[in-house]
Amino acid sequence: MIMRNFVLAGLAIASVSVNGVAQTLQEAITKTDNERFEAASADFKSLVAKEPTKGDNYFYFGENYFKNENLDSALIMYKKGAEVSPMYTLNHIGIGKVYLYQGKEADANTNLFKGKTLAEDKTNKPVKALSYLKLAEAYTKAPMYKNLPEAMKLITEASKLDGKNPEVYLLWGDALLEQNPTDGGPAIKQYDKAFELDKKNVKAILRKGKLYERGRNYTEALKYYKDAEAIDDKFAPAYREKAELFNSASRFKESVENWKKYLELNNSESARVRMAYALYKAKQFQDVVFEIDQIMTKDANQSPKLFRVLGYSYYEITDKTDKEAYKKGLNAMNTFFEKTAGKDFKYIPDDYKYKGLLMSKTGQDSLGVIEIETAIKLDSVANCELWGDIGKIWVKAKRYDKAIAAYNNKSKCTKGLTGQDNYDMGRAYYYGPKDMVNADTCFSRLTKASPTYPIGFFWRGKANLQMDPKNEKWLAKPHFEAALALLKVEERSTASYKANVIEACEYLGYYFLKQKDNAKAKEYFGIVRDLDANNKKAKDFFASPEGK
Q: Which of 220-229, 268-277, 507-516 has the lowest mean pLDDT?
A: 268-277
pLDDT at 20: 38
pLDDT at 267: 78
pLDDT at 443: 98
Over 50: is that where the pLDDT of 332 sits?
A: yes
Q: Are 239 and 261 in contact (CB under 8 A)?
A: yes
Over 60: is that where the pLDDT of 371 sits?
A: yes
Percent of the chain clearing pLDDT 70 (strictly above): 96
Q: Are 416 and 427 in contact (CB under 8 A)?
A: no
What is the four-CA torsion angle of 161, 162, 168, 172, rounded to 10 degrees? 40
- 58-79 pLDDT, tens digit per residue, is 999 999 999 988 999 999 999 9
- 223-250 pLDDT, tens digit per residue, is 999 999 999 998 999 999 999 899 888 8
pLDDT at 6: 31
- 73-99 pLDDT, tens digit per residue, is 999 999 999 999 999 999 999 999 999
pLDDT at 14: 34
Alpha-carbon gap, residue 366 to 444, rounded angstroms = 30
- 105-152 pLDDT, tens digit per residue, is 999 999 999 999 999 888 899 999 999 999 999 999 998 889 999 999
- 278-308 pLDDT, tens digit per residue, is 889 888 999 999 999 988 988 888 889 999 9
pLDDT at 23: 57
pLDDT at 9: 34
- Residue by residue, DSSP assigns 112-176 as HHHHHHHHHT---HHHHHHHHHHHHHHHHH-SSS--HHHHHHHHHHHHHH-TT-HHHHHHHHHHH
- In the chain, the domains with their CATH numbers are 1-163 (1.25.40.10)
At 306, give phi and psi (nearest 5°).
-70, -35
pLDDT at 231: 94
Alpha-carbon gap, residue 512 to 214, rounded angstroms = 69
- 407-430 pLDDT, tens digit per residue, is 999 999 999 999 999 999 999 999
| pTM of the model as a whole | 0.66
Residues 6+ apart with CB under 8 A from 333: 307, 308, 311, 351, 354, 355, 358
Alpha-carbon gap, residue 199 to 166, rounded angstroms = 10
